[in-house]
Structure 1
């Protein structure tokens, strides 16, 4: 195992283009706008020398750090590997301009939300009264492509948005994305009453599914989507509650029932006092699967779930 590398070798390694490095290693990458997405680990996205593996809460910059994170290399091993193949040198980094503030593209909305509402209630089984409430609060919309838009609102201002496709694309996948320039540590959130607790989810759909299941029980709660597993979103929401004059009495981790979701919940619960935190992971893959499974039990029984008066 390599124990020492020279300063010159480190400099060469640091200047290797990350995309060229991964493509020549055979990693399946697909360009999506300004980003590249890994086709096996589809929550791993790369832009220039920056990377984010959202399902594992891994974010960073630089090809050496990526090699250590993704391939499990030591620092010397990563440096030597990056020196070995004559990889392309990254483009000179131009002076970075300040990030433009998010501007919600309201002109892209359509008045008729039928497709979005049908998707939420019929495909995802979100309770219709919840969907109507979100519509009345201007927290959801439909865009010109038929996507559901989940607006990230803070103090009445839209600071970002998730977009969820309602039908398959040509490659069979369902579109899922976050608007460009969305506030990096914000997320879709809903207040039920005057919140004194935070419930954390991996997506807006999961948050609304949980609300549909526990509609009669949730009170004085803020449901927050991290759009993945994002530590900074959790921290941001705790700070925001304080700024808004709400005391946080309780935090519940409602992540997916998989390795990444469980590890995230356990990791951050251990950093909080037991009296302050709780884990409520779905029985199925995620909370939407739980919701659908519960409703399937009433398939042959007349059930008031889909009555808007219930």
Structure 2
């Protein structure tokens, strides 16, 4: 778009737009989490006034870069929208809807008995009575006096309550769940045993269900809940308990859980925990497995849509790779494909045949880069087949790092092509390290093309004109 000048005052005003107000007007759901708000669609993103932070990627900022990143808009487009643009919308500023001051943590009052909690956990959730009794005896589960919620308590290293998760025990409608305000996320509901194993869950009911399903010797092992997929409680227990070496991730069998498995494994590897395993429930979570065992209809598991699509996209690459063997100059072919791809993407035509052509360009580029990797391996005396390279590409794919809009994906592809061009035109004879780097660059280009191809397949908004994207006010990551 043409250059647009903004005054410092306008940029400051745009950057001060309250993101809670902004997202709610898009129909997004946000959940209060202490002094912040958590975006329900992507629960690793927290909002506080005009500031945001994505915990899964350790990045954040203010309103302008939020709109740029999540809505795939340029800086001028983002500022115009936040200033009201043609629609004339006046967004709330941060001062108008800032969160209430954070309260000190305090456990809810204790009821005189636990009849409702026992009835709910045993009859509705099928948790073993002895397991519940154990945690109740340790004062880690109790029934609150006012609302009769089940309260799951998290203690710190000194045995002081620092966290409490409440779960409604009423059976009609959707049960209430939430943390007591002021809870420290590092000290959620957990149990520490003497073995080296730490089992990690999203919620207390998942943890108790798993223990019920695997009762023999369960007290010897350690268990921790994350209140979702945040890593804080897991890392805290690993720091406190040096005997814990083996981490078993037991998160929900759905898209969010699968992505969290990959993210947490990467995080643990960086901290030196290399003995990490993933254990998935048959159905959506461990309580659904327990329900199925008692004859109830369980909620089915959900596979990650990108992992379903990945082998389908990759299936065409070996034949395309073979067909490119007759082409004289594959590198020039890749540049030509990218230039055509840029033209198609920038035009943003909505005709179906345009989208199909974009997909074909990306497939040809992926196949071309695999062909060059195959030729390089042959020249290095380590021949491989196209099928082997495709298998390596698939095994290297990680859905939790496959982020970004079309603009950033195109920038990734451009960067890959630049790296390849730099190393191939480097003066002198390429050494072994240069050849290995070139081979990695070919595979990275192929993977980035495949990722972009899947993004277009799964994201119906990506080929819309920018003005239509803005008017639709929809976000699909």
Alpha-carbon shift at residue 79 of structure 1 (Å) = 3.2
**Superposition deviation, residue 4 in structure 1:** 7.9
Distance in 2 separating the partners of 1:32 and 1:189: 20
Partner of 2:151: 149
Structure 1 counterpart of 2:262: 266
Q: What is aligned with 1:117?
A: 118
Q: How far has the Cα of 1:166 moved from its partner?
A: 0.8
CA distance in 1, matches of 2:75, 2:163: 36
Q: 1:162 aligns to what?
A: 165
Q: Provide the C-alpha distance between the structure 2 equivalents of 1:5 and 1:195, rounded to a whole number of angstroms.
A: 63
Note closer, same or farther for the CA distance 1:69–1:206 as it changes in structure 2 (3 Å cut).
Answer: farther
Report how far residue 90 of structure 1 moved: 2.0
- 1:42-62 deviations in Å (ceiling 9; x for gaps): 9687564466889x7999564
What are the Cα deviations for residues 81-123 of structure 1, in whole angstroms up to 9, with x where unaligned?
Answer: 21233422221799x98x6652323xx2101100001111111
Encode CA deviations 1:53-83: one digit per residue, 9 max, x unaligned.
Answer: 89x7999564345435644556554333212
Q: How far apart in 2 are the matches of 1:126 and 1:49? A: 43
Q: Which runs of 5+ in 1 are unaligned?
A: 298-310
Q: Secondary structure at the match of 2:162?
A: strand
Q: How far is 1:173 from its partner?
A: 2.1
Counterparts of residues 132-211 of structure 1 (less than 5 Å): 132-143=133-144, 144-154=146-156, 155-168=158-171, 172-191=173-192, 193-211=193-211
1:213-228 correspondence runs (5 A): 213-218=213-218, 220-228=220-228
Tell me the TM-score normalised to structure 1 length: 0.77
Q: Is the 8 A contact 1:2 1:77 kept in 2?
A: no
Change (3 A) 1:34 1:293: same
Aligned length: 284
Tell whether the 8 Å contact from 2:151 to 2:164 is kept in structure 1 after alignment.
yes
Which one of the candidate residues 80, 87, 91 is aligned to 2:91? 87
Which aligned pairs between 1:23-62 and structure 2 lie closer than 5 A?
23-27=24-28, 41=41, 48-49=49-50, 62=62
Partner of 2:417 in structure 1? none
1:185 aligned counterpart, secondary structure: helix
Deviation at 1:151, TM superposition (A): 0.5
Unmatched 5+ residue regions in structure 2?
297-477
Q: Distance in 1 between matches of 2:263 and 2:94?
A: 35
Moved more, 3-12 or 197-206: 3-12
CA drift at 1:185: 2.6
Which is further off, 131-140 or 85-94?
85-94
In the alignment, which residue of structure 2 is the partner of 1:252? Answer: 248
Hey, which of these two has a bigger chunk of strand by percent? 1
Structure with greater helix percent: 2
Cα 1:28–1:215 shift into 2, 3 Å: closer
Q: 1:134 to 1:295 in 2, by over 3 A?
A: same
Structure 2: distance between partners of 1:59 and 1:133: 41
Q: Distance in 2 between matches of 1:30 and 1:227?
A: 13
1:249 deviates by: 1.6
> Residues 290 and 60 (structure 1 numbering): CA distance in 2 closer, same or farther, change over 3 Å?
farther
Counterpart CA distance in 2 for 1:213 and 1:289 is 11
Name the CA shift for 1:165/1:100 in 2 (closer, same or farther; >3 Å).
Answer: closer
CA spacing shift, 1:262–1:156, aligned 2, 3 Å: same
Give the structure with higher Rg (CA): 2
Distance in 2 (alpha carbons) for counterparts of 1:173 and 1:57: 31
- Provide closer, same or farther for how the CA distance between residues 66 and 235 of structure 1 changes in structure 2, counting only shifts above 3 A: farther
Residue 235 of structure 2 corresponds to: 235
Distance 1:290 1:216, change over 3 A: same
Contact 1:9 1:80 in 2 (8 A): no
Partner residue in 2 for 1:276: 275
Is the CA contact (8 Å cut-off) linking 1:5 and 1:80 kept in structure 2?
Answer: no
State the SS of the aligned residue for 1:174.
Answer: coil
RMSD: 3.6
How far the C-alpha of 1:8 sits from its partner, in A, is 4.3
Q: Deviations over 1:140-163 (max 9, x none)?
A: 010121110000112311001000
Q: Please tell me whether residue 104 in structure 1 is matched to residue 107 in structure 2.
A: yes
On the 8 A contact 1:186/1:226 being kept in 2, the answer is no
Equivalent residues of 1:5, 1:79 under 8 A apart: no
Which range is displaced more, 140-149 or 59-68?
Answer: 59-68
Number of the residue aligned with 1:289: 288
